[in-house]
């Protein structure tokens, strides 16, 4: 018997350890570039309906609970049928939408706050490592959305399920790893779309509601202050929510810091690293130790391993914790600048085209191209692994 499951159901099965084996039927090079940690690669052609990779059914039990995924679901469905009909496996499921849909799965996680009226939700894009946010004012029923991706349903549903009216939409910067739909969502609800005013240095081909450095806007009765934090990009703006939580975009992560060479390159590369150092030490590092750091991403390896975080759990640190443990931040300026260019991870897939899309310079042909442009991990950190020292 072959069952069809969604990518969200696959997430639930992974968390519950409710299967024996997960096969991924994509080509080996695609599997090596990005995969789910629990998966085994067995290449199978959905077009030709034939086994290409090596597969020995005797290594498995016929009553094993088997799940199959691929790029879009087609090859997985064919291989699932082969397992059931030819090899006699009794419990086989395949993921409808495959890895494309896996890249769209979100977890919505509450972040504890000091103020009772303030609600902060962290939206975790499990297969890619993107983090977005909902800032809610419980008393007024108003909410803002921050760093909205193409999976707008996740953000809209999070607001609707809690009875919020979407009042503003923010982006921290012009993203290089995912396509922002902040403008589209703001237009849908006829509300302001905010970028920090310094984003104008990137020459976006659209109008936006600029927030000046150190300007405060209200979400209901929750103050949100714009803090210009350049380094990852010239226009990067972090948002200080009610004085207790800083949404840092790609400036500072729980386990690392943001890379700088996606915008700053050539002669400007080291200058960009110095700007990042200045931002970290003289803007964020001077904030009170208790301020929560809520980043725009978490690190996910090509092998599908999560670095220093657990999906479905709050992903944040504090200024005090990071300054005590982050080994990169502990370097002096010259060491920091040199470190920023040692052993950098590969760049995000199609990042130049993604930037052009987010600037309004390029328009993807259709939804399929939009999805294809952003598949894979985000790779926005300056390190492959964690920069946090072991206790």
Where residue 263 sits, what CATH number does that domain have? Answer: 3.60.15.10
Average pLDDT (136-152) is: 97
For residues 236 and 283, is the Cβ–Cβ distance under 8 A? Answer: no
Q: Is residue 376 very low, low, confident or very high in pLDDT (cuts 50, 70, 90)?
A: confident
Residue 99: which of 18, 39, 146 has the closest Cα?
A: 39
Shared-domain flag, residues 155 and 250 = yes
Average pLDDT, integer, range 367-382: 89
Total domains, the chain: 2
What average pLDDT does this structure show over 353-367?
Answer: 95
Number of C-alpha atoms within 13 angstroms, CB side, residue 375? Answer: 20
Does residue 384 lie in a domain region? no
Residue of 178, 174, 175, 141 whose CA lies nearest to 159: 141
Q: Is residue 88 part of a domain?
A: yes
Residue 49 is part of which domain span? Answer: 2-102
| Alpha carbon distance 232, 271 (integer Å) | 11
Q: What is the mean pLDDT of residues 326-332?
A: 95
Is 14 inside any structural domain? Answer: yes
The pLDDT of 76-84, averaged and rounded, is: 97
pLDDT digits (tens, 9 = 90+) for 178-231: 999 999 999 999 999 999 999 999 999 999 999 999 999 999 999 999 999 999
Percent of the chain residues topping a pLDDT of 90: 87
Q: Reduced to 3 states, what is the DSSP secondary structure of residue 293?
A: strand
> What pLDDT does 347 receive?
83
Is residue 111 situated within a structural domain?
yes
- Tell whether the model's pLDDT for residue 390 goes beyond 80: no
Per-residue pLDDT for 78 more than 90?
yes
| Domain contains 385 | no
Please tell me the predicted confidence (pLDDT) of residue 378: 87
Domain boundary among 80, 102, 124: 102
CATH of residue 82's domain is: 3.40.250.10
Q: What single-letter DSSP state applies at residue 202? A: G
Q: What is the pLDDT of residue 343?
A: 63
Beta-carbon contacts of residue 78 (< 8 Å; ≥ 6 apart): 44, 45, 46, 49
Q: Is the pLDDT of residue 54 over 80?
A: yes
| Last-in-domain residue among 42, 72, 102 | 102
Does residue 292 share a domain with residue 362? yes
Asked whether residue 344 carries a pLDDT value surpassing 80, the answer given is no
242 and 122 co-located in one domain: yes
Boundary-marking domain end, from 54, 79, 102: 102
* pLDDT at position 391 over 90: no
User: What's the burial of 42, exposed, middle or buried (CB within 10 Å: 0-12/13-18/19+)?
Assistant: buried
| Token representation of residue 268 | 């400007």
Could you tell me if 36 and 178 lie in one domain?
A: no
Does 275 lie in the same domain as 160? yes
Q: What is the mean pLDDT of residues 117-140?
A: 97
Mean pLDDT of 76-104: 96
For 232-290, write each residue's pLDDT tens digit: 999 999 999 999 999 999 999 999 999 998 888 766 778 889 999 999 999 999 999 99
Are both 323 and 217 inside the same structural domain? yes
- The pLDDT assigned to 302 comes to 85
| Percent of the chain whose pLDDT exceeds 70 | 99
The residue among 349 and 354 whose pLDDT is bigger is: 354
pTM, entire model? 0.95
- pLDDT attached to residue 389: 83
Separation of alpha carbons 67 and 118, rounded Å: 41
Pair (155, 73) in one structural domain: no
Among candidate residues 346, 343, 316, 340, the one with its CA nearest the CA of residue 328: 340
């Amino acid at each position: 018997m072959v069952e069809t499951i969604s990518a969200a159901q696959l997430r639930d099965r992974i968390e519950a350890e409710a299967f024996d084996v997960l096969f991924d039927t994509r080509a080996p090079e695609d599997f090596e570039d990005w995969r789910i940690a629990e998966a085994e690669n067995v290449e199978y052609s959905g077009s030709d309906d034939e086994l290409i990779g090596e597969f020995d059914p005797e290594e498995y039990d016929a009553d094993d609970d088997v799940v199959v995924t691929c790029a879009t679901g087609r090859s997985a469905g064919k291989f699932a049928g082969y397992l059931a009909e030819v090899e006699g496996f009794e419990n086989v499921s395949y993921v409808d939408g495959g890895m494309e849909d896996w890249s769209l799965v979100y977890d919505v996680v509450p972040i504890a706050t000091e103020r009772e009226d303030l609600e902060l939700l962290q939206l975790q894009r499990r297969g890619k490592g993107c983090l977005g946010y909902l800032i809610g004012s419980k008393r007024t029923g108003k909410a803002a959305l921050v760093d909205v991706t193409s999976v707008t349903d996740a953000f809209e549903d999070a607001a609707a399920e809690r009875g919020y009216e979407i009042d503003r939409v923010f982006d921290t910067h012009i993203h290089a790893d995912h396509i922002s739909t902040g403008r589209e969502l703001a237009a849908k609800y006829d509300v302001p779309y905010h970028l920090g005013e310094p984003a104008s240095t990137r020459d976006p081909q659209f109008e936006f509601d600029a927030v000046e450095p150190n300007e405060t806007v209200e979400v209901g009765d929750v103050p949100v202050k714009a803090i210009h934090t350049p380094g990852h990009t010239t226009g990067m703006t972090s948002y200080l929510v009610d004085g207790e939580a800083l949404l840092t975009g790609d400036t500072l992560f729980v386990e690392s810091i943001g890379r700088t060479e996606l915008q700053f390159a050539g002669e400007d590369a080291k200058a960009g690293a110095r700007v990042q150092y200045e931002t970290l030490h003289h803007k964020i590092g001077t904030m009170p130790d208790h301020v929560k750091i809520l980043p725009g991403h978490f690190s996910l390896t090509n092998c599908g391993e999560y670095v220093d975080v657990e999906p479905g759990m709050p992903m944040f640190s504090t200024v005090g914790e990071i300054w005590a443990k982050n080994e990169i931040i502990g370097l002096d300026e010259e060491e920091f600048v040199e470190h920023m260019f040692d052993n950098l991870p590969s760049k995000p897939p199609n990042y130049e085209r993604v930037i052009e899309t987010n600037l309004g310079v390029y328009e993807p042909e259709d939804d399929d191209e939009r999805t294809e442009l952003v598949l894979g991990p985000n790779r926005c950190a300056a390190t492959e692994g964690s920069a946090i020292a072991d206790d």
